[in-house]
């Protein structure tokens, strides 16, 4: 009889311990979610506070009752923010497109074609993966300067194209496609080029999309190289633009307008992310695990 009481107690304590554990976990997760989200909230909030109202706040307030879009107007008129957007868009689209073409051909060669020196070339490629881009920055800067390509799109784009990792990622994906498909195509007298575009690329579409999206994110946020080669407003990207806004501001320290610019710059990628959430997350996870 003793024992029976014992079992009921065990049952109850197990239940309450479980509930406590769940509560702690949710609390922990919620705290981190707040830490992540708060800066976003704060930038949106600040961007809709008027310049006067913001500067009058000795103690920051967590809400505003009179939101205004004035700052967005200021951000787009006082500095050529639209220009920066356009530059970034051109840079991102062109760089990503060229990168895709280069990557597809290289990955196809490594995955499917037989040629003399293939193994050595692939090992060379893999070892390039370990090279930090910061290391090659210096010479590239000198090269671009000597070619008189500073403050041109060519100067921005050309050194940003090469992406060893994506070639590797796509090659791995190509290699997973069964050999039989290639031989079947060969039997039907399909050219390599046709096989690549009509068979391989459609099959590997998910990886192509992943690579493209990752490259777009990378381009949109790139800072180091654009700052080196573009020192004129005409070729600033958004990252450089925001830095200039930070340093010289809008003639005066106009933080709400600055935040409006920040919101405008962050929005495209966040929108892209929310649309392609699954693709981006699995892509990053897959890319990350391989590395």
Tell me how far apart the 2 most distant CA atoms of the chain are, in Å. Answer: 93
By C-beta, is 90 or 137 nearer to another protein?
A: 137
**Residues between 217 and 236 with contacts to another protein, criterion CB under 8 A:** 217, 220-221, 223-224, 227-228
By C-beta, is 21 or 205 nearer to another protein?
A: 21
The answer to the question of residue 29 lying near another protein (CB under 8 A) is yes
Stretch that binds another protein, among 70-78, 181-189, 198-206, 251-259 (CB under 8 A): 251-259
The answer to the question of residue 7 lying near another protein (CB under 8 A) is yes
- Site pattern 127..166 for another protein (x: CB under 8 A): -x-xxx-xxxxxxxxxx--------------xx-xx-x--
Structure-token match 């106009």, residue found: 254
3-state secondary structure of 69: coil
Contact residue for another protein among 148, 179, 188, 247 (CB under 8 A): 247
In angstroms, give the least distance from the CB of 56 to another protein.
9
Let me know if 133 is exposed, middle or buried by CB neighbors in 10 A (0-12, 13-18, 19+).
Answer: middle
How many Cβ atoms sit within 10 Å of the Cβ of residue 212?
A: 19
Structure-token match 């809400």, residue found: 63
How many Cβ atoms sit within 10 Å of the Cβ of residue 42?
A: 13
135 vs 125: CA distance, rounded Å: 16
CB 70 within 8 A of CB 54: no
In angstroms, give the least distance from the CB of 50 to another protein.
15
**Residues between 192 and 221 with contacts to another protein, criterion CB under 8 A:** 192, 217, 220-221
The answer to the question of residue 20 lying near another protein (CB under 8 A) is no
Q: Which residues contact 273 (CB under 8 A, 6 or more apart)?
A: 280
- The one-character DSSP state at 234 is G
By C-beta, is 4 or 65 nearer to another protein?
A: 4
In angstroms, give the least distance from the CB of 45 to another protein.
10
In angstroms, give the least distance from the CB of 247 to another protein.
6
Stretch that binds another protein, among 73-81, 102-110, 172-180, 197-205 (CB under 8 A): 102-110
In angstroms, give the least distance from the CB of 203 to another protein.
18
Q: What token pair was written down for 2?
A: 């003793």
Q: What token pair was written down for 12?
A: 């109850």
Q: At what angle do helices 164-176 and 277-290 cross, to 10 degrees?
A: 100
- Site pattern 41..70 for another protein (x: CB under 8 A): -xx--x--------x-xxxx----------
In angstroms, give the least distance from the CB of 181 to another protein.
18
In angstroms, give the least distance from the CB of 167 to another protein.
6
DSSP string, 158-212: HHHH--HHHHHHHHHHHHHS-HHHHHHHHHTT--HHHHIIIIIHHHTHHHHHHHH
Structure-token match 């050529």, residue found: 80
229 vs 53: CA distance, rounded Å: 39
**Residues between 257 and 276 with contacts to another protein, criterion CB under 8 A:** 258-259, 261-262, 265-266, 269-270, 272-274
In angstroms, give the least distance from the CB of 136 to another protein.
4
């Amino acid at each position: 009889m003793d024992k029976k009481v014992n079992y009921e107690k065990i049952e109850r304590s197990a239940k309450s311990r479980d509930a406590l554990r769940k509560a702690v976990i949710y609390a922990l997760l919620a705290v981190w979610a707040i830490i992540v989200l708060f800066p976003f909230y704060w930038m949106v909030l600040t961007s809709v506070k008027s310049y006067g109202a913001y500067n009058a706040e000795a103690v920051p307030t967590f809400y505003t009752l009179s939101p205004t879009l004035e700052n967005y107007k200021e951000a787009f008129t006082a500095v050529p923010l639209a220009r920066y957007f356009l530059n970034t868009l051109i840079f991102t689209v062109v760089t990503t497109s060229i990168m895709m073409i280069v990557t597809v051909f290289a990955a196809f060669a490594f995955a499917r074609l037989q040629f003399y020196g293939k193994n050595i070339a692939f090992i060379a490629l893999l070892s390039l993966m370990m090279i930090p881009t910061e290391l090659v920055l210096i010479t590239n800067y000198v090269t671009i300067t000597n070619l008189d390509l500073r403050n041109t799109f060519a100067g921005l784009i050309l050194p940003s194209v090469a992406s060893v990792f994506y070639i590797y990622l796509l090659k791995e994906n190509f290699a997973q496609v069964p050999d039989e498909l290639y031989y079947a195509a060969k039997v039907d007298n399909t050219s390599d080029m046709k096989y690549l575009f009509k068979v391989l690329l459609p099959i590997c579409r998910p990886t192509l999309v992943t690579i493209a999206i990752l490259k777009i994110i990378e381009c949109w946020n790139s800072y180091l190289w654009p700052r080196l080669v573009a020192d004129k407003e005409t070729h600033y990207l958004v990252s450089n633009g925001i830095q200039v806004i930070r340093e010289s501001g809008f003639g005066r320290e106009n933080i709400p307008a600055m935040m409006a610019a920040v919101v405008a710059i962050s929005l495209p990628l966040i929108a892209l992310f929310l649309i392609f959430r699954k693709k981006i997350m699995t892509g990053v996870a897959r890319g990350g695990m391989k590395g």
